[in-house]
Copies of this chain bind each other. A is one copy, B any other.
Amino acid sequence: MSLRRPIRHCRECGSQVAYRVPDDGDTRERAVCPACATIHYENPLNVVGTVPALGERVLLCKRNIEPRWGKWTLPAGFMELGETTAQGAQRETDEEAGAQIALGPLFSLVNVPHVGQVHLFYLATLHSDVFHPGHETIEARLFAEDEIPWDDIAFRTVRVTLERYFSDRRSGRLGLHCIDLG
């Protein structure tokens, strides 16, 4: 599976590793060190973010970094060690948009198995329409549903989350959405 760059050297001793099925009952190939026997596991990453709303409008950020430079996204990024999914979502909203929010419940859990990622978006209520975007963001602004730049959304996980969000809003009930992207 070519999800990630292969590991070439052992994290413990620096020797060149080889991909093989370990002898411990495992069924998958792992990067195994022939010198010190360290097994290197590679696992999916969580991306955590928010759907920050102020009345009818939602906050999007124009990306100042690759990939998808110049495209629009919900504030989101890789979950870090030592934080919860909700804390990570709040941190990313602060870092990317400089937006002050009250965090709400989990809204979408989007699996993206072909890149080994799980994206989790929380509902959030903005305290104001004043934003202080960080270096990863060109511009942060509010969009009503009919203003969303659907052709310039950075990621499918963001698009599907926004689609479900506005659909739920119309139906009057915001639920949890578990979605698998092929």
Contacts and interface: CB of A to CB of B under 8 A. Distances in A.
Interface of A: 1, 3-5, 7-16, 25, 28, 40-46, 78-87, 105-106, 109, 111, 113-114, 116, 118, 135-136, 176, 178, 180
Nearest to A176: B176
A82 B11 contact: no
Interface-centre pick from A3, A78, A113 (highest chain B CB count, 10 A): A113
Contact of A81 (B4, B46, B83): B4
A84 B178 CA distance: 11
A80 B43 contact: yes
A118 B119 CA distance: 13
Contacts of A85: 109, 111, 118
8 contacts: A8-B12, A9-B9, A9-B10, A42-B81, A43-B45, A44-B46, A44-B79, A106-B176
For the complex of A and B, 8 pairs with smallest distance between CB atoms: A9-B14, A14-B14, A84-B111, A81-B116, A7-B11, A84-B180, A3-B81, A1-B82
Given A28-B80, A176-B106, A9 B13 contact: yes
Contacts of A81: 1, 3-4, 42-44, 113, 116
Contact of A3 (B13, B44, B82, B118): B82
Contacts of A44: 46, 79-81
Contacts of A106: 109, 176, 178
